[in-house]
Structure 1
Amino acid sequence: MPHFEEFYADKLRGSLGVRDAESVLDLRNASREQAAASIQDMLERSRFAQSKTVAIRLAPPPEGGGETLFQPVGKALLEAKKRGWVDRLQTLPAQDGLGFYIALAGKPASKD
């Protein structure tokens, strides 16, 4: 069994993160409404653009526990995946913090 450098081993395990994404959407200081609007805007714009990868960063839970944006953002991304707007959806690796790594499908190829 060959041994891989940690960078390549992570890629084989599928832990793509912030450093692998073409762009980053940082929602760590966003309210729930701002986050929802940003996600919706990103998804709508992606339907008319080239496919690309995006890392979405979210704030960790406050000390002592509490609500995060993980669930509402995750639900919106899952719905977009069902619609075909997102090709790949996974959580960020632990070292990158709370968030998602997604591959936006982009504009469908024309059938001309």
Structure 2
Amino acid sequence: MPHFDEFYANKLRGTLGVTDAESVLDLRGTPRPKAEASLNDMLERSRFAKGKTVAVRLDAPTPGGGETLFQPIGRLLLDAKRRGWIDRLQTLPAQDGLGFYVALAGKPAREG
């Protein structure tokens, strides 16, 4: 959409999901410590690479199943956004299940 700022063009396109992401980090069935370690590893590596988009998939809650990874992973992603490591963060659309669509900022461009 060449006549729109990218932010507004994305609003018109609707919610971005798994098929829009360049890669998928599937944390379904993963214990919390391993899931957090995988996410932290991805975020750390992204700081030294070209920016890309990632769909982070999580298990849906089950009746009587207890806490899901949604809150702890969401907190880690929000912290990374505050640090400038993430340009865009949103939940996945309902048809894609529970998770997040993340646009990683990547390595900052050098000045000079």
**TM-score (normalizing by structure 2):** 0.87
1:64 positional shift? 3.4
Aligned equivalents of 1:49, 1:30: Cα separation in 2:
25
1:65 positional shift? 4.7
Equivalent runs, 1:1-112 vs 2, <5 Å = 12=12, 14-112=14-112
1:29 positional shift? 1.2
**TM-score (normalizing by structure 1):** 0.87
Structure 2 unaligned residues grouped into runs of 5+? 1-9
Aligned equivalents of 2:82, 2:91: Cα separation in 1:
17
1:66 positional shift? 2.1
1:104 positional shift? 0.1
Compared CA separation, residues 11 and 18, structure 1 to 2 (3 A): farther
What residue identity is the alignment partner of 2:45? R
Moved over 3 A (4+): none
Structure 1 unaligned residues grouped into runs of 5+? 1-9
Considering only aligned residues, what root-mean-square deviation do their CA atoms show, in Å? 1.5
How many aligned residue pairs are there? Answer: 103
**Fraction of identical pairs, as percent:** 73
Bigger Cα displacement from structure 2, 60-69 vs 43-52: 60-69
Instruction: After superposition, give the CA deviation of every residue in 1:5-37 in whole Å (9 maximum; x if it has no partner).
Output: xxxxx9626310000000000000110001110
Aligned equivalents of 1:24, 1:108: Cα separation in 2:
23
